[in-house]
Chains A and B, each alone.
Chain A
């Protein structure tokens, strides 16, 4: 049994929340630069220029990359041989998030669904726990904005729809979203599992690096296929036209009921903020 003091988790989580909101992941920044060079449309080039400058400015000044610092979403993998001392793991993650959003001058966006009254501390954090073998605690943090999240969908298909049906749904969803979710987007796709697992997988898939190739070559091929199809939509950066509507498509699959074919499409804006820590 390994013991981790809750305070260590609180501090680490707070740091992650602040850093995620100020530092665009290196792979995303690199993708901006590569795509800026590839674009022929001057408006698309200009948007990339602004996004690159924005990322530099955020790093220098400590201002968040985007004013929508998102709901804080966590994926936690807790080793079976780990014990957290001082608070429950959930309390520790949540307290760290509240601390980070306060001390980092990050916007609090969480509110009551009916009265729309702001909870004031961006809480409660949305946490997905997983118990795994070992004595490590791994935490991923994602700052997920509302503009892109609103464009996400879950759809339960009949099995006969097949890949053709799924592919069509995904492409149409991104076409309908158009300029709303701050393109260029990244698209996380959950296929299989059930209603809720597809959704969780579609978001978790977004934690992979842009140039990370799916271990299953068949799935990797589908990711490529959808990416290239979406980029033919000519929505372009901020909807002004161009080659880059999407930077990456990441698929996560799971076995499903023989009567079902669940699909979840999680749309992630270009401000693809996430961090991970292993304790």
Chain B
């Protein structure tokens, strides 16, 4: 288990060194996007129009933050469950996306796409939204403002703490539940 500090945009070399279980601190820019925003990104690609941000080396954080109270750049900002974005992720990885941040297991299709494109899946602690927001220094809505909490935001982060769940070598950090032992009681 190693520790890395990485700056965005991420490169192939950044990702290749990572192994499941490593701790990574991200500094730079990350983009938020969840269900409805992913649908719009896909529709935009289908139409052949340009995306609202550059996917090359980018990180997408699956988060719908709570509103920023006065004096703060953002409200609470922990990860949402990632599987709902699984249908969209392989295509985005194919276009240069280097990583996604969320919580919960990814589909085999996403894991394959990450291996093929040298990308990774990072976990942030679910439900630790107040804590994680401390690493976010600035936030700006850059697309789909009408989606409210689901709008795409550009976040400026400093040492945003992550755990590598799936690396680009097929590694997986989540445990496989010990069903037999549990059923036996």
The verdict on A234 contacting B69 (CB below 8 Å), with A108-B149, A118-B147, A120-B148 known, is: no
Q: How far is the CB of A122 from chain B (nearest CB, A)?
A: 11
- Check A106 for interface membership: any CB of B closer than 8 A: yes
Give every chain A residue within 8 A of B83 (Cβ-Cβ).
180
Interface string of A230-265 (1 = CB under 8 A from B): 101111101111000000000000000000000000
Q: A53-B128, A180-B104 are in contact. List 11 more A-B contacts (CB 8 A).
A: A63-B130, A65-B129, A66-B126, A105-B75, A118-B148, A171-B182, A179-B104, A180-B83, A232-B181, A232-B182, A233-B181
Neighbour of B127 across the interface among A168, A182, A228, A239, CB < 8 A:
A182
Interface string of A3-43 (1 = CB under 8 A from B): 00000000000000000000000000000000000000000
**A178 in contact with B183 (CB, 8 Å):** no
The verdict on A64 contacting B177 (CB below 8 Å), with A168-B183, A180-B83, A182-B103 known, is: no
**A66 in contact with B103 (CB, 8 Å):** no
Interface string of B129-154 (1 = CB under 8 A from A): 11101100000000000011110000
**B125 in contact with A47 (CB, 8 Å):** yes
Chain A count of residues within 8 A CB distance of the other chain: 53
- Check A199 for interface membership: any CB of B closer than 8 A: no
- Distance between Cα atoms of A146 and B79 in the complex (Å): 12
- Distance between Cα atoms of A47 and B163 in the complex (Å): 11
The verdict on A235 contacting B134 (CB below 8 Å), with A108-B149, A150-B81 known, is: no
**B130 in contact with A147 (CB, 8 Å):** no
Q: For residues 202 through 238 of chain A, which have their beta carbon under 8 Å from a beta carbon of chain B? A: 225, 228-230, 232-236, 238
Of the 9-residue stretches A54-62, A72-80, A88-96, which lies at the interface with chain B? A54-62
Q: How large is the interface on B (under 10, 10 to 19, 20 to 34, 35 or more residues)?
A: 35 or more
Neighbour of A67 across the interface among B78, B163, B182, CB < 8 A:
B78
Cross-chain pairs A/B with CB under 8 angstroms, 11 sampled = A63-B66, A63-B72, A67-B65, A108-B148, A116-B35, A118-B150, A146-B80, A171-B182, A181-B81, A233-B178, A234-B175
The 7 closest A-B pairs by CB, nearest first: A180-B104, A182-B126, A175-B177, A107-B66, A67-B129, A63-B130, A67-B76
**A239 in contact with B76 (CB, 8 Å):** no
Neighbour of B178 across the interface among A67, A172, A182, A232, CB < 8 A:
A232
- Check A97 for interface membership: any CB of B closer than 8 A: no
The verdict on A180 contacting B68 (CB below 8 Å), with A107-B149, A175-B179, A233-B182 known, is: no
- Distance between Cα atoms of A175 and B129 in the complex (Å): 25
Give every chain B residue within 8 A of A238 (Cβ-Cβ).
103, 123, 125-126
- Of B63, B123, B129, B173, the most chain A CB neighbours within 10 A belong to B129
- Check A135 for interface membership: any CB of B closer than 8 A: no
**A229 in contact with B66 (CB, 8 Å):** no
- Check A270 for interface membership: any CB of B closer than 8 A: yes
- Distance between Cα atoms of A233 and B183 in the complex (Å): 9
The verdict on A171 contacting B105 (CB below 8 Å), with A50-B125, A107-B67, A147-B81 known, is: no
- Distance between Cα atoms of A181 and B105 in the complex (Å): 11
**A229 in contact with B149 (CB, 8 Å):** no
Q: Which residue of A lies closest to B173 (CB)?
A: A240
Neighbour of A234 across the interface among B105, B129, B178, CB < 8 A:
B178
Give the number of residue pairs across the A-B interface with Cβ within 8 Å. 160
- Check A69 for interface membership: any CB of B closer than 8 A: yes
**A65 in contact with B76 (CB, 8 Å):** yes
Q: Which residue of B lies closest to A171 (CB)?
A: B182
Q: For residues 43 through 69 of chain B, which have their beta carbon under 8 Å from a beta carbon of chain A? A: 63-69
- Check B157 for interface membership: any CB of A closer than 8 A: no
- Check B36 for interface membership: any CB of A closer than 8 A: yes
**B68 in contact with A105 (CB, 8 Å):** yes
- Distance between Cα atoms of A54 and B177 in the complex (Å): 27
**A63 in contact with B177 (CB, 8 Å):** no
- Check B24 for interface membership: any CB of A closer than 8 A: no
- Distance between Cα atoms of A236 and B163 in the complex (Å): 15
Q: How far is the CB of B36 from chain A (nearest CB, A)?
A: 5
- Check B4 for interface membership: any CB of A closer than 8 A: no
Q: Which residue of A lies closest to B181 (CB)?
A: A232
**A236 in contact with B175 (CB, 8 Å):** yes
- Distance between Cα atoms of A144 and B100 in the complex (Å): 25
- Of B65, B105, B131, B148, the most chain A CB neighbours within 10 A belong to B131
**A50 in contact with B128 (CB, 8 Å):** yes
